[in-house]
Structure formats: structure tokens, C-alpha cells
Amino acid sequence: MTLSTAQLSLVEQRVANDAPSPVVAYGLWALLWFVSAHRFYLGRPGSAILQIISYFFVIGFFWAIVDAFLIPGMIREAKDDIRDDFTYRHYGLAA
């Protein structure tokens, strides 16, 4: 079974509404990097805590800089998860 154009449109609208905002993610990264707020916002509390702990070993500062390049991928993954979950719950289709 494939989704109709209307169903696909509904799924993508849900993804657009529920997905994390890149502006907010980068704002948190820029202003609150030292508490890894961007990682908590993007639904990665485990790695956020590891990042905070790693600041004591200097590696966390480099990790925070690398996150600037990782944020788009984290947002894509969040959108994919929302899309898969919504499609499965409403249409019974697994991605």
C-alpha cells in the first residue's frame, strides 16, 4: 500500500510542525553551548551529559565546535523519526 498525495502532504505537514527548529538549535548552541542545551533540545540527553562531563577534559570544547556541523544531521534524523512514527501510527506503514 502506498500513500496518496493528500496523505503524504499531511505527513510532511506534521513533520514541518513537529520538527526541531534549526534557528533554535543554533541559538542554543551559540548561547548555551557550555550546558549542551542544543543537544537536550534535539532529544539527545545522554550525549549532552557526556559532553558536559567532557568539558573537564578539554575534549568537550572541540566537541561543541564540531556540533555546529552535526546539528543539520540531528534535525534530519528527528524529522525522519517523526515521519516514520506518524506514518506508522496513522497508516500502519513501516518505513
What is the rounded average pLDDT of the residues 41-62? Answer: 91
DSSP secondary structure string for all residues of 50-95? HHHHHGGGSHHHHHHHHHHHHHHHHHHHHHHHHHHHHHHHHH----
Domain range annotation of the chain: 5-91
What is the rounded average pLDDT of the residues 59-75? Answer: 92
Q: Does residue 88 surpass a pLDDT of 90?
A: no
Q: 95 or 23, which is more confident?
A: 23
Q: What is the pLDDT of residue 1?
A: 62
Q: Which residues contact 68 (CB under 8 A, 6 or more apart)?
A: 26, 29
